[in-house]
C-alpha cells in the first residue's frame, strides 16, 4: 500500500518524507524457537498517556550497549503504520522516562531470516507473562502478502487489534491467549 500525503497528514505526520512506512505481520506462538535465535534483547516500552508516543529502552542480553529512542506511530491499517523515531542519549532518555504512561516489558529474540525476511519473537513479562508473539517486517505489501505463516506459530493475530503493543499495555492479555 502506498501512503499519500493526505493520509499521512490525517494521522498527524505533516511531511511524509520524515515518516517510515512499517509493514508488519504478527503471530501468536506457544514458545520461542530457541534453536533459531541469533541474539536477544530485554525491552522496556513506555506508552505515553494520551499520545501516540512510545519511549523504548533495549538492552542486548549479551551485554552490548543499550539503544534508547522515542517513536511516534500511527496505524494506516492493521498491517501498515507510519513511524518516526529519534534515537536518544542516556541523559535525554532519563529526562523523558518519567512521563506518565504504562510500561510493557519483554525479551525480543531475533531469529535467522526466512526467505530474506527478519523475524523476531517476543516473550512478554509482568502482567503479560505467558504471551509469546512473533512478528516480521516487510519492504513491500507484496512481500507481506506472500510470506507464509511460520511453522512455529499457532495462528496469525495481525488483524486482531488486541495484540498490538498499545492495546496490550492498556487492556492486558486477551482472554483466549
Measured CA to CA, the distance from residue 165 to residue 127 in angstroms comes to 13
- Residue 33 pLDDT: 96
User: Domain extents for the chain?
Assistant: 5-171
Measured CA to CA, the distance from residue 154 to residue 56 in angstroms comes to 28
Contact between 111 and 153 (Cβ < 8 Å): no
pTM confidence score: 0.89
Which band of pLDDT confidence, cut at 50, 70 and 90, is reported for residue 77? confident
Give the mean pLDDT of 22-38. 96
Give the mean pLDDT of 49-64. 95
Give the mean pLDDT of 90-99. 96
Give the mean pLDDT of 120-137. 96
Place of cell 503493543: 165
For 140, counting Cβ atoms within 10 Å of its Cβ (0-12 exposed, 13-18 middle, 19+ buried), the class is exposed
Which band of pLDDT confidence, cut at 50, 70 and 90, is reported for residue 11? low
- Residue 177 pLDDT: 56
CATH class of 5-171: mainly beta
84: helix, strand or coil: strand
- Read off the pLDDT of residues 143-166 as tens digits, 9 standing for 90 and up: 999 999 999 999 999 999 999 999
Give the mean pLDDT of 102-108. 97
Amino acid at each position: 500500500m502506498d501512503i499519500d500525503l493526505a493520509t499521512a497528514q490525517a494521522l498527524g505526520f505533516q511531511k511524509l518524507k520524515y515518516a517510515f512506512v512499517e509493514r508488519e505481520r504478527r503471530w501468536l506462538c506457544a514458545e520461542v524457537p530457541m534453536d533459531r535465535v541469533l541474539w536477544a534483547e530485554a525491552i522496556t516500552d513506555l506508552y505515553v498517556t494520551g499520545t501516540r508516543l512510545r519511549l523504548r529502552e533495549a538492552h542486548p542480553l549479551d551485554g552490548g550497549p543499550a539503544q534508547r529512542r522515542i517513536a511516534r506511530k500511527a496505524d494506516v491499517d492493521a498491517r501498515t503504520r507510519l513511524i518516526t523515531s529519534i534515537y536518544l542519549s542516556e541523559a535525554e532518555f532519563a529526562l523523558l522516562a518519567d512521563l506518565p504512561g504504562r510500561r510493557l516489558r519483554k525479551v525480543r529474540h531475533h531469529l535467522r531470516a526466512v526467505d530474506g525476511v527478519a523475524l523476531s519473537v517476543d516473550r512478554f513479562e509482568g502482567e503479560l507473562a505467558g504471551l509469546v508473539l512473533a512478528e516480521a517486517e516487510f519492504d513491500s505489501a507484496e512481500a507481506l502478502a506472500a510470506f507464509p505463516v511460520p511453522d512455529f506459530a499457532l495462528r496469525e493475530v495481525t488483524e486482531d487489534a488486541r495484540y498490538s503493543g498499545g492495546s496490550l499495555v492498556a487492556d492486558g492479555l486477551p482472554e483466549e491467549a
